[in-house]
Amino acid sequence: MTSASTPLPVPAHIAIIMDGNGRWAKQRGLPRVEGHRRGVEAVRTVMEAARELGVKCVTLYAFSVENWRRPEEEVGGLMGLLETFLARETANLVRDRVRLRAIGRTDELPGAARAALAAAMAATAHFTEQTLVLALNYGARTEALDAARAYAAAVVAGKASLDDAKSWEGFSRYLYTRDLPDPDLVIRTSGEKRISNFLLLQAAYAEFVFTPVLWPDFGKAELIAAIDEFRGRERRFGQITEQLAAAKAEAAAQRPADVIV
């Protein structure tokens, strides 16, 4: 654990597995799509809270490659909610200067959803203050396959070398997230304790928080609680506590002394 005097900073990038919409609806005798609708409202609340707390990037697991297996009616409802969300929220994203990004095989989404997504991303592409990433038709394993294919194609075309794959930095340029920082914190709601094929490579050194709160009930207080738990941990990245302490002491010693006038 870190000491109380030196907590970790607020995570720059939080990734969230938004789970529990269906259970939330079932508990209230409502159709599953109503749970997803309320989940969309939670997205707005969480993004506002993240901005207030200084989180620069939020990635939401909105639709996985496995979600196509759900009943056709539910899948259609989810695609409709995506279109509605983009239609309603693009103006707010522009107002708040939030860049919208999408990761996944988005070319396989229905045409109307693809068009709405492209329009929203184009309208916000120039913002740098905060980024909202929607993982749509996303799976970490399909991302790895797509990255390997893109890398192989680049080698065949003479645009890359086999030596590029000797470092993570070289290979990661072919991931969907090549222009994004790795997540510092991954949150999963609803009490499930698995990561469901989400950012497997990028989250190699992320901290994980699992909360029993269902996604539609997840708000600012729950986000703060997850961040507080994150800040109380020690991120060692393969090192030991003593090495981290020595590095901090060395950095402090090299820091220029304050000038008193």
Please indicate, yes or no, if residue 34 is contained in any of the structural domains.
yes
In a domain, 166, yes or no: no
Tens digits of per-residue pLDDT, 62-73? 999 999 999 999
Q: Do the Cβ atoms of 61 and 138 come closer than 8 Å? A: yes
Q: Where in the sequence is the domain holding 56, given as residue range(s)?
A: 13-139+181-254
Instruction: Say if 150 falls within a structural domain.
Output: no
Tell me how far apart the alpha carbons of residues 42 and 144 are, in angstroms, rounded to a whole number. Answer: 30
Using N-to-C axis directions, what is the helix angle for 32-53 and 220-231, rounded to 10°?
A: 60
Q: Is residue 2 part of a domain?
A: no
What is the set of active-site residues? 19, 67
CATH of the domain at 214: 3.40.1180.10
Is residue 3 situated within a structural domain? no
**Is residue 22 situated within a structural domain?**
yes
In a domain, 162, yes or no: no
Residue 241 confidence (pLDDT) above 70: no
Count of structural domains within the chain: 1
**Per-residue pLDDT tens digits for 1-22:** 444 457 889 999 999 999 999 9
Single pTM value for the model: 0.87
